[in-house]
Structure 1
């Protein structure tokens, strides 16, 4: 068990894939967010999710 809900786990997978795509592609952030399943959010929300997940893992 990961200690996470299903939704938290899925979001973490999406964030990790998004981080990978940011590092390895020239796609706009909004397009990356859409491709990893964050379809109805803006850049600042996606960026906040990445920051939160990164800090949670590091902390």
Structure 2
């Protein structure tokens, strides 16, 4: 990832930081749940698959 980002002209140090973040996320560093959706909307959160299924008619237009 670092090499691919650097090949686009991104500075090497920044490419390394982003690649490290990507590696960390892949290992689960962002695998957490927050109560924010319910606190903000008053509704329980749901998966994207459930959301898409509930609104399938919109996706078909």
Q: So what's the TM-score if we normalise by structure 2?
A: 0.36
